[in-house]
């Protein structure tokens, strides 16, 4: 049996999920206005929601511009925005419909979260990743 080829892809954040914090903010403000609290409590909750939204939006973007998963040893390699390559291991993964959510732990114990959605990745890459992740879950880990 031939070994599976390595999987590599360029990464850019999904535009689809960039609007999610704004949607959550709007829903929080609607709930704030509709609740039966005094005006000063509503104002405090609205300020808190705006502060949390600002923090979420201003958070620096993911510095990963490319990723690769070698077939033999199961190691990941992340290319950062500054051009350096960093080895990583898969901490966890989730498949949510057409999207794949990857959490990778680098050697310096940082977590890189990659969301592969239809608007920022190729369907073939997502299909190959789903297959490889499924086979990885099915094989028992050595104890």
Whether 46 and 38 have beta carbons less than 8 Å apart is answered as no
**Does the residue 2 lie in any domain?**
no
**Does the residue 1 lie in any domain?**
no
Residues 51, 71: one domain? no
Residues 29, 88: one domain? no
Whole-number mean pLDDT of the chain?
A: 85
**Does the residue 143 lie in any domain?**
no
Range of the domain at 128: 7-14+61-138
Residues 31, 80: one domain? no
Q: Is the pTM above the cut of 0.75? A: no
Q: Which residues pair with 59 in a beta bridge?
A: none
d(CA 106, CA 115): 17
pLDDT of residue 29: 93
Residues 48, 108: one domain? no
pLDDT of residue 62: 61
Give every strand in the sheet of 111-116, ordered side by side. 7-10, 64-69, 76-80, 85-96, 99-106, 111-116
Q: What angle do the packed helices 39-58 and 20-34 form, to 10 degrees?
A: 170
**Segment among 13-22, 86-95, 109-118 with least mean pLDDT:** 13-22
Residues 76, 130: one domain? yes
Half-sphere exposure of 53 (CA within 13 A, CB side): 18
């Amino acid at each position: 049996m031939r070994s599976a080829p390595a999987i590599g892809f360029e990464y850019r954040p999904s535009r689809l999920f960039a609007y999610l914090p704004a949607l959550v903010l709007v829903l929080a403000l609607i709930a704030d206005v509709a609740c039966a609290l005094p005006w000063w409590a509503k104002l405090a909750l609205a300020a808190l929601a705006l502060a949390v939204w600002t923090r979420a939006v201003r958070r620096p973007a993911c510095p990963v511009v490319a990723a690769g998963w070698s077939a033999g040893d199961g190691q990941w390699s992340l290319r950062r925005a500054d051009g350096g390559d960093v080895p990583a291991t898969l901490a966890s993964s989730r498949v949510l419909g057409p999207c794949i959510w990857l959490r990778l732990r680098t050697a310096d114990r940082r977590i890189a979260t990659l969301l592969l959605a239809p608007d920022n990745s190729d369907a073939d890459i997502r299909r190959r990743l789903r297959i490889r992740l499924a086979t990885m879950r099915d094989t028992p880990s050595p104890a």
